[in-house]
Amino acid sequence: MTNFNIVLVEPEIPQNTGNIGRICVGFNCHLHLVKPFGFELTDKNLKRAGLDYWQNLSWTTYESWDHFYPHIQDQLKQVHFMTTKTDRSLYDKKYNSGNWFIFGKETKGLPESLLHNHEEQNLTIPFPGEIRSFNLANSVSIVASEAFRQLRT
């Protein structure tokens, strides 16, 4: 049984996606990859970062956001859009098995229009230090870890 759904919208860096695949295997999450990608799925850096765990990964690819979006419309209340453009902390939310966590591309995040249309579902990882954001793979790890921690308590 899948704990959570991790969605990467237009990922650009193969090493991040490989690491995220490994994170998904570790937390028993399904990885959803929304094209276009900034790399090929056969990229050696993707495989190297994912090590031999990639073969155990549950994953699906989609040609575009428009092809992906119908898969979650019935579950929109369980969807969380991860962004630095909100004050809603991921630590203030209760998660359930099957929740969806959507992450944008490394250089731009999620589109402003998408965030605007789902303002109540936008969440951020709070950080006190002087940085703009965390690395995408680190962000997925933080979110998956917190959501999994809640399932165990």
By C-alpha distance, which of 80, 12, 16 is closest to 46? 16
Residue 9: both structure tokens together: 């919208």
On average, the pLDDT of the chain sits at 91
Domains and CATH numbers, the chain: 5-152 (3.40.1280.10)
Confidence of residue 13 (pLDDT cuts 50, 70, 90): very high
What's 30-98 look like in SS3?
A: EEEEECCCCCCCCCHHHHHHHHHHHHHCEEEEECCHHHHHHHCHHHHHHEEEECCCCCCEHHHCCCCCC
Please identify which residue in the block is written with the tokens 């991790």.
6
How many beta carbons lie within 10 A of that of residue 10, not counting itself? 20
- What is the reported pLDDT for 21? 94
Say which amino acid occupies 20.
I
CB 69 within 8 A of CB 38: no
Residue 33 confidence class, pLDDT cut points 50, 70, 90: very high
**Per-residue pLDDT at 51:** 64
